[in-house]
Structure 1
Amino acid sequence: STNAAAIYCNNHYTQQSVYASVAGSYNMKYLSLTASTDITWSDLNTDVYKSSYVYRLDSKSLLSAILSYRGLEVNLAMLYTHIQDHTRGNASPLRKLTPMFLASYKNGPWVVRAFNKRIFRAPTLNDLYYTLVGSTDLKPEYTTQWDAGVDYRGRHLHFAIDGYYNEIEDKIVAIPMKCQFRWSMVNFGMVKSLGLSLSGGYSNEWGKFSLATNANYTCQSDRDYSMPSDPEYKHYVPYSPLHSGSLIIDLGYDSYSLCTSFLYTGERFALISNNADDLLGDWYTVDLKLNKRFRLKNGMVVQATVECNNLTDSRHEVVKRYPMPGRNWKATVKFEL
């Protein structure tokens, strides 16, 4: 007899897309009006047995009004989206009108801003129709966002602070359902996100020397508020860390540059049950990149790069039971004509 689990499988998937856009604007002293339409045709074809060819028509139309007066800027916009898939057993068409409001005030290097937006993310063709992964029952992900923040941008120093709150209906998440090697796209009924984001950087030059740094830190709580009667009510959404951050330092001298990057991800759960056995530990990686540019007499530019990824040989898992590579090296040479 034949073991079905060991049958040879060599499936092929082909995707392509065509995109077109048209836009126009009318500007006055304090008011600017803009209208635009984007249209995308895309398809997914496969030789999987009994699978159907599918193509999508996606159109987005935007009407925007921007009022500017003495550092104050107010933006009102309406976005209409129409997405229709054409195939056997296709997902329901999507027609939605979503608003956006943005206000900001600039005074010298300082900007105070806030916005409210109602937006959504439609499932991709892969999310809906990819074999064993996609589901035609998948719903669009709708998000209501509130954000308030402050920016400072000086000659050498810049930083930003943002506080935000999001309500996400039918959040699309990929999780292993039947086994670790077969992931599926599913909806969470209601996810609420509360977060704080800090970012900043410093750059300067001293003759042939240069320095550029950028740092980011995010504290974000993503919890499931779908059903108060469920035991998972208010549990953390899988693979959503509370803390994450990054640091990039780029040193330059003449045609040399040395860049180091630090990436950190905090603890997170692999499943919505939030059991201790499903808790993944925090991890970090340090990468180094040395770059040199050579300009030849014939005008050609040669760029040589040596990289060391995961310098500290960190042993970690981004996804449970899928260990990431340890320390590894890479060298590249690029020619510019």
Structure 2
Amino acid sequence: MKKTLILILSSYGCFLFGQEKGIDTVYVFDSQMKKVKLFHKVNTITPQDVEKNSTNLSELLRYQTPVYIKENGRGAVSSPSFRGTSAQQTAFVWNGININSNFLGQGDINNIPLFGYDQIEVKPGGGSVIYGSGAIGGSIHLNNDLSFNKGFKGSLFTEIASFDTYNNFAKASYSNDKFSFNVSGSYSISQNDYEVEEKDYINRNGRYYNTSFNAGAAYKIADHQTISWQSQFFDASQYYPIFVENGNKTKYGAQSTRSLISWDINTNKLSNSLKAAYAEENFQYFGDINTPKTSGGTGKNYIFKNDFNYFILPKLNVNVITEFQVNKGEGYSSGIESISRNVGSLAGLLRYFPTKELRFEAGIKKDFVEDISSPVLYSFSGKWTPLQWYNVGLNFSKNFRFPSFNDLYWNPGGNLDLKPETSIQADMDHEFKFGDFKLNISPYYMRISDMIRWLPTPYGYWGAHNTNKVESYGLESQLTYNKEFNKKNSLRLNVGYSFSKSIDLETKNQLMYVPIHKVFGNADYRYDFFKIFVQGMFNGLTYTTSDEKRSDALNPYFVLNAGISATVLKKYTLGFKMNNITNTVYETTAYYPLPKRNYSIFATINF
């Protein structure tokens, strides 16, 4: 193997370049994530974890993270709630690039591919200094990396499930010491015609399908320089459920294209990542599935971003991030004509590592959004390890979200006088280690001002307004246990609990679709070639109206899933999963129950 200079975590807890060492180099597209993990708790979901919840991204996040997912029936419109915030206050980040919709200001989870990433990472808390507009409650990171010196690898995953559901995913990669390439694709389709007798509900016209394709490549043009490329293509169609047999059938189509080119330089004192990206979203709504589209739109983003990192001293690091975007949009039957907006930003971060037990980071950022006055943002983080079994972190930041195209230009209802939403947030992370156990406890507080809401007007339509202030506070905790008994026998546990109060300071009521309590847990046991997993989720009482009307609230529920699999010859895996073992009747959105007990069989081939 070729000897390469690599970035390592030094005994002082900071990133330094160490001595030459023969390893397989891994290139990561989101260069900031390693630095983020020095100060913030980040939950990482691996491709193996994805196979447990392979229906869609909504299901995966629901069972493996503290995020609340509001889904209008399985596979339909879906949105996240981080720490009591809205979907618009959650940033979706693809390989370091914010991909929230120009029109909606959010990501529709079920119109984002589930497969094709090397890690899915979930970061609670504000992050606008690094990841921009919308990173108020938290951010969801869809990351790819490219390894060198790995040769050829490939895998195939296929699943047959209830409701005529078929999920397929294939991936192949090749790399040597100079060049790395991977390609993957997925296809999912479902009639999705489940029934919930207790609610007198049939998921009529609920079918969906989606296809995604991912490709990436990297080439070392010199010892310390790499050129890389990553692209994603996605096409989907969702048919919206109807409540009666002869109801009007509607559907929604979505297509997205993302492409990113990066030039990275790494030396023993500095690193620089220069990125150029293009992201396009297209959507169409059909008020009748047998007629042409009723409305739609096309959004295009041209993004240029530079991330410069330099060690002034071995313990002092400066990071400068500059970004420029051109956001374009064109609507159809929405009153939105051809529009364009320039967005620029300049951010600076200073990191100081006085001892191996102590580290600090301070950041400041100014965004320049055309025709919108944006605030100065800032952040401060510190982490201290006073004891071998305990460390504590403190994070404080100001974050924001500027209005989306729909907020400004939708006719009728858009409001050109809207101000950006802003938030002040603080959280404290406590981490305890006891043998193979690790416990994280994170209390937090957040105050949001100028929240953008769509409210009824005296003229009979809904309009966008800066309204109430919101105060959110609560606690997130997570307990993990990892034990390798021997080479053939291991156990992994992961249990999380979140308490969320998100209060409208005008009405003093809990916000809609913010459960006060949520518990999720996953247990994995492996013995030789045999694996079993069990996962469960409890969701507490959830209000669906702004006046906390108990009769309209979603009742608490508990859902239990399990699966088994066997691997032979280290290449072939066959498994079986049972979802909702307890046959629980539950909803994450009023009037749209999710499936009762259902099954799937799956197979994986690695070569």
Which category of TM-score, normalised to the shorter sequence, fits these structures?
0.7 to 0.9
Task: Please tell me the residue identity of whatever aligns with 2:423.
Answer: T
Are 2:523 and 1:249 equivalent residues in the alignment?
yes
CA displacement at 1:204 relative to structure 2? 0.4
Measure how far apart 1:311 and its partner are: 1.9
Determine the structure 2 residue equivalent to 1:279: 553
Q: For the residues of structure 1 that align with 2:574 and 2:324, how far apart are their CA atoms? A: 40
1:290 aligned partner: 564
Stretch of structure 1 that moved more, 200-209 or 19-28: 19-28
Other-structure match for 1:229? none
Tell me the residue number matched to 1:79. 365
Aligned position for 1:169:
449
Amino acid at match of 2:495: A
Distance 1:166 1:49, change over 3 A: closer
1:204 aligns with: 483
* 2:376 corresponds to 1:97: yes
Q: CA deviation at 1:328?
A: 1.9
**Matching residue of 1:327:** 597
> Contact conserved, 2:334 with 2:410, CA < 8 A, in 1?
no
Shift of 1:304: 3.8
Does the 8 Å contact 1:82/1:96 carry over to 2? Answer: no
Counterparts of residues 121-136 of structure 1 (less than 5 Å): 121-125=401-405
1:230 maps to what in 2? Answer: none
Q: 1:290 to 1:55 in 2, by over 3 A?
A: farther
Give the distance between the partners of 2:548 and 2:382, measured in 1 at CA.
39
Aligned-partner Cα distance in 1 for 2:603–2:341 = 40
1:59 Cα deviation after fit: 3.3
Q: Counterpart in 1 of 2:509? A: 235
CA distance in 2, matches of 1:295, 1:185: 59
Q: For residues 418 and 483 of structure 2, what CA distance do their matches in structure 1 show?
A: 49
Residue 584 of structure 2 is aligned to residue 314 of structure 1: yes
Q: CA deviation at 1:152?
A: 2.0
Q: CA offset at residue 285 of structure 1?
A: 1.5
Distance 1:153 1:185 in 2: 47
Which moved further from structure 2: 261-270 or 185-194?
Answer: 185-194
- How many Å apart are 1:38 and its aligned residue? 3.2
Report the more deviating stretch, 183-192 or 54-63.
Answer: 183-192
Gaps of 5+ in 2: 1-247, 251-286
Q: 1:323: Cα distance to partner? A: 1.4
Q: Distance in 2 between matches of 1:94 and 1:307?
A: 51
Query: Which residue does 2:51 correspond to in 1?
Result: none
How far apart are the structure 1 equivalents of 2:477 and 2:519? 9
Q: What is the CA–CA distance in structure 2 between the aligned matches of 1:127 and 1:290, rounded to whole Å?
A: 47
Deviation at 1:48, TM superposition (A): 3.1
Q: Deviations over 1:277-296 (max 9, x none)?
A: 32221122112233444557
Match of 2:308 in 1: 24
The answer to whether the 8 A contact 1:289-1:308 is kept is yes
Q: Structure 1 regions of 5+ residues with no counterpart?
A: 85-91, 227-232
CA distance in 1, matches of 2:462, 2:504: 20
Structure number with the higher strand fraction is 1
Q: TM-score, normalised by structure 2?
A: 0.46
Counterpart CA distance in 2 for 1:225 and 1:293 is: 55
Does the C-alpha gap of structure 1 residues 284 and 9 become closer, same or farther in structure 2, counting only changes over 3 Å? Answer: farther
Instruction: Give the distance between the partners of 2:594 and 2:559, measured in 1 at CA.
Output: 11
Q: Residues of 2 paired with 1:97 and 1:139: CA distance?
A: 14
2: distance between equivalents of 1:222 and 1:205? 40
Aligned length: 313
Say which of 117, 122, 143 aligns to 2:397.
117
What's the offset of the Cα at 1:58?
Answer: 3.7
Shift of 1:139: 4.5
Residues 185 and 323 (structure 1), Cα distance of their counterparts in 2 relative to 1, 3 Å cut: farther
For residues 252-263 of structure 1, the aligned pairs below 5 Å read: 252-263=526-537
Partner of residue 61, structure 1: 346
Q: Deviations over 1:183-217 (max 9, x none)?
A: 99775511111212221110101221111111111
8 Å Cα contact 2:335/2:410 also seen in 1: no
Going from structure 1 to structure 2, the CA distance change for 1:252 and 1:218 (only over 3 Å counts) comes to same
What value does the CA root-mean-square deviation take over the aligned residues? 3.3
C-alpha deviation, 1:168, in angstroms: 1.1
Structure-2 change in CA distance of 1:76 and 1:255 (3 Å)? same
Q: Is the 8 A contact 1:78 1:98 kept in 2?
A: yes
Q: Please give the alpha-carbon distance, in whole angstroms, between the structure 2 residues aligned to 1:131 and 1:252.
A: 57
Answer yes or no: is 1:222 the counterpart of 2:512. Answer: no
CA distance in 1, matches of 2:401, 2:578: 36
**Higher RCO (CA 8 Å, separation ≥ 6 residues):** 2
Distance 2:543 2:605 in 1: 45
Letter in 2 for 1:306: F
* Separation in 2, partners of 1:132, 1:292: 57
Q: Distance in 2 between matches of 1:321 and 1:134?
A: 28
Report deviation, 1:234. Answer: 0.5
Q: Contact between 2:431 and 2:438, CA under 8 Å: does it hold in 1?
A: yes
SS in 2 for 1:277: helix
TM-score (norm 1): 0.79
